[in-house]
Amino acid sequence: MTAKRIDGKAAAQGIRDRIATEVDAFRQQVGRVPGLAVVLVGDDSASAVYVRSKARATEQAGMQGFEHRLSATTSQDELVALVDRLNADPAVDGILVQLPLPPQIDEQVIITRISPDKDVDGFHPVNAGRLAIGLHGFVPCTPLGCLRLLQAELGELSGKDAVVVGRSNIVGKPMALLLLRESCTVTIAHSRTRNLPEVVRRADIVVAAVGRPNMITGDWLKPGATVIDVGINRTEAGLVGDVDFTSASEIAGAITPVPGGVGPMTIAMLIRNTFVSAARREGYSYEKSL
Q: Which residues are catalytic?
A: 54, 98, 121
How many other C-beta atoms are found inside a 10 Å radius of the C-beta of residue 234?
10
Q: What is the DSSP letter of 178?
A: H
User: What gap in Å lies between CA 133 and CA 190, rounded to an integer?
Assistant: 23
Length of the chain, please? 290
User: What gap in Å lies between CA 145 and CA 132, rounded to an integer?
Assistant: 18
Task: Identify the sign of the CA torsion 273, 275, 278, 284.
Answer: negative
Cα–chain center distance at 105: 23
- Decide if 15 contacts 264 (C-beta within 8 A): no
User: What gap in Å lies between CA 208 and CA 185, rounded to an integer?
Assistant: 16
Do you find a cis peptide bond into 90, omega within 30 degrees of 0?
no
- Decide if 230 contacts 261 (C-beta within 8 A): no
Read off the amino acid at residue 196.
L
- Decide if 274 contacts 94 (C-beta within 8 A): yes
Q: What is the DSSP letter of 169?
A: T
- Decide if 247 contacts 214 (C-beta within 8 A): no
- List C-alpha distances in Å: 68 to 14, 85, 88, 140, 145: 29, 12, 16, 21, 26
